[in-house]
A and B are shown apart, each in its own frame.
Chain A
Amino acid sequence: MTEHKVLPVRTYVLIWAILICATFTTLGIAFIDLGPWNIVVAMMIAFTKMSLVVLFFMHVKQQTALTKLFVVAGFFFLAILIFVAMTDYGTRTWMPQGRMW
């Protein structure tokens, strides 16, 4: 059984402030040319923001182990969807046309 304890207002406001700062960081960095790293940085910031929302706003930090397992499983299956699709599309040009073997 979990403890459904009430988080203090300052925790919520702190998370909100970090999320707002991260949004403007995302916007600012997008206009700097980092080559292939632009998308990496943007996605890292987005994942950080998502983790903060999930853990604190959605209270997953306080939930039962079963709920945590379900949350992780959801993102795990999404990763399979995208990663396995990209192992196909990302490698199609690796072999010369017509000389597969």
Chain B
Amino acid sequence: MAENDFEAPREREMAGGDEPYNDKMPRRFQRRRPRQVIPDYVDWRDVDYLRQFIPERGKIMPRRISMISAKDQRRIATAIKRARSMALLPFVWE
């Protein structure tokens, strides 16, 4: 019985409030990867590791697709930029 008490209000919400609200909701992105474990120290010379955050075009992968935390994204972005300045990674892929 206790379980039913918890479920009842949720059903009410689903019936009434959810459908009109759905139009205003931002579209959810389909491409989602599981959260990766980023090492504590991101080495800017480790090109093979950084390559997984660079799609075909050579841009840095946005956070909404790679699903890493904001802190990790910042660390990886700086590492990629350092590697780029030393011609270890390209600015653009053709």
A and B interact: no
Q: List chain B positions with a Cβ less than 8 A from chain A.
A: none
Q: List chain A positions with a Cβ less than 8 A from chain B.
A: none
